[in-house]
Amino acid sequence: METPNKKINSLTLVSLVVTTSIGSGIFALSSDLAKAASPGPALISWFIVGCGILLLATTLNNLLHERPDLQGIFSYGQSGFGPFTGFISGWGYWMSCWLGNVAFSTVFMSTLGYFFPVFLKNNSLISIIIASLCSWFLTWLVNRGVENAAFINSIITLCKLIPIFTFIIVSIFAFKSGIFTQDFWGNLHNSVGDGSILKQIKNCFMVMMWVFVGIEGASVLSARASSQKAAGRATIIGVLCLLLIYICASILPYGHFTRVQLINAKQPAMVYLFKELVGSWGGTFISIGLLISIFGAWISWTMLPAETLSEMAKKQLLPAKIGQLNKHKAPTFALVITGVMVQIFLITLLFSQEAYELAYSLCTAAVVISYIIVAAFQIKQAKQQGNRLQLAIGWGTLLFELVGITLAGLQYLLVCTIIYLPGIYLYYLARRQLSAPLFSKREKWGVICLIFLGVLALILVLAQIIKI
Ligand SMILES: NC(=[NH2+])NCCC[C@H](N)C(=O)O
């Protein structure tokens, strides 16, 4: 990584925005989207989600420059609305980080399944065992202070982008407009899936929001642009490039394969579709790129949740012990807590039908909690400054996140409240030692609601597992 003060140019910044968000999602996107919609509704969804993400990125960018004193996504919550909101935001972000890693691990296993069919089912016992070993191995590496060095990052970025661009170029040549327009709106009498255009648009939301998770990391880097204007421009261009890549990778396949073929493609779909297009070398080519790309992303995202916990401990939102660093300057305790959570969650995947979908949906729902708080902070900040444009951007972001997660599935948000239960206890331990009152009146109501929802969700989930 570059030194913190080094300025970065716009082109590098654009590529950072693009690569920090691309993890595993894009490689499975074509069939995930085909399950949700036909090309017409999917394009409308891309437009809506694209606008929403642009608003979010602009909000993040603005806050970064207005409040350079605040670092870490949860610090906005703490500074604007008090420590408990800071905790809600930080815990949500932490959760999202490791839940995303669970999603990575499922795609990693499915991809290994291309070479070793025993892993094809990504939540079989053997897959879960290997995924757990990988997760602990990465935790161990990061605990020893290992980070992606800049040059390794560039190699990983190339391994990530080359297969994606090759896939897009080949898909352009294979594109046939007749096939593409065959059932453009998914309203023919023999259409697959459940029908109305609105419903199809709604079905796309979760997966589209998932592929943009990580955009907040890019905006942190944009603080190092040469000027605020350059940062703003690079973020917007970056989001637009990302959107274009996602649209091409997910929509072009509708011009060669029927929707049924796309739905039935084995996961990760890009591997199998490309193999279908160019022959068996294609599958191997994408798989290897994919494995390297996930591995790289997985390491960075192993550090991030642990760093979030230790930052929270520093800001007295969690017990100080969690923030302690070892001799390699890595927060061992935070890493272990996170590793244990990943482990528990991997085990529960044994009982789930769609392991990958579950993990990425929960990851997205959790990060939305932090995004909502960021948007609320932007509104507060813009109001104080009387800045109408930023106020509108804040409201737009808030509205998009609220509507987005409602359409994507509030049940995932409910499941996240379970993981808040142990968090509240840790927060309580941390705050008890301070002289300040534990909770304000409003916060008390917040705690009661959260505990109620968490217990309710736990009962519902257990009931579901027992039924299975
Ligand atoms: N917390 C995480 N591990 N997040 C990973 C972000 C995932 C990324 N947006 C993707 O498409 O795969």
Q: Which atom in ligand 1 lies closest to the alpha carbon of residue 304?
A: 1
Span from the CA of 60 to the centroid of ligand 1 (angstroms): 18
**What is the distance in A from the centroid of ligand 1 to the CA of 218?**
13
Nearest-10 crossing angle of helices 269-278, 25-36: 90
Supply the pLDDT for residue 241.
Answer: 94
Point out the ligand 1 atom lying closest to the alpha carbon of residue 23.
Answer: 12
Q: In this predicted complex, what is the ipTM? A: 0.97
Instruction: Name the residue type at position 48.
Output: I
Pocket perturbation via mutation, ligand 1, pick of 104, 209, 267 by most ligand atoms within 8 A of CB: 104
Token output for 25? 């999602």
- What gap in Å lies between CA 322 and CA 388, rounded to an integer? 41
Question: pLDDT digit string (tens) for 182-228?
Answer: 889 887 765 665 678 899 999 999 999 999 999 987 766 666 677 77
Strand partners, 8: 225
Residues within a 6 A CB radius of ligand 1: 21-26, 96-97, 100-101, 104, 210-211, 213-214, 301, 363
Helix (H, G, I), strand (E, B) or coil at 115: helix
Contacts of 370 (CB under 8 A, 6+ apart): 73, 74, 77, 89, 90, 92, 93, 96, 216
Task: Tell me, yes or no, if the pTM score tops 0.90.
Answer: yes
State the average pLDDT for the chain: 90
**Torsions phi, psi for 361 (to 5 deg):** -70, -40
Question: What region, left, alpha or beta, does residue 434 occupy, with left being phi > 0 and alpha being psi -120 to 50 degrees?
Answer: beta
Cis check for the bond before 268: say yes or no (omega within 30 of 0). Answer: yes
Which pLDDT belongs to residue 2?
40
Domain ranges of the chain: 10-462
What pLDDT, on a 0 to 100 scale, did the predictor assign at position 193? Answer: 59
- Give residue 219's pLDDT: 66
- pLDDT-above-70 percentage for the chain: 95
Distance 228 CA to ligand 1 centre (A): 26
Separation of 237 CA from ligand 1 center, angstroms? 20
Average pLDDT over residues 445-455: 95
Q: What is the pLDDT of residues 109-128, one digit of tens each?
A: 999 999 999 998 888 999 99
In tens, the pLDDT along 320-330 reads 999 999 998 89
Task: Provide the token pair at 348.
Answer: 């529960």
Domain 10-462, what fold?
Amino acid/polyamine transporter I (1.20.1740)
Amino acid identity, position 113: G
What's the rounded Cα separation, in Å, for the pair 103 and 39?
25
Q: What is the DSSP letter of 266?
A: P
**How does pLDDT run across 26-84, given as a tens digit for each residue?**
999 999 999 999 999 999 999 999 999 999 999 998 998 888 888 888 899 999 999 99
Distance 28 CA to ligand 1 centre (A): 12
Measuring from atom 7 of ligand 1, which residue has the nearest CA? 23
pLDDT digits (tens, 9 = 90+) for 392-401: 999 999 999 9
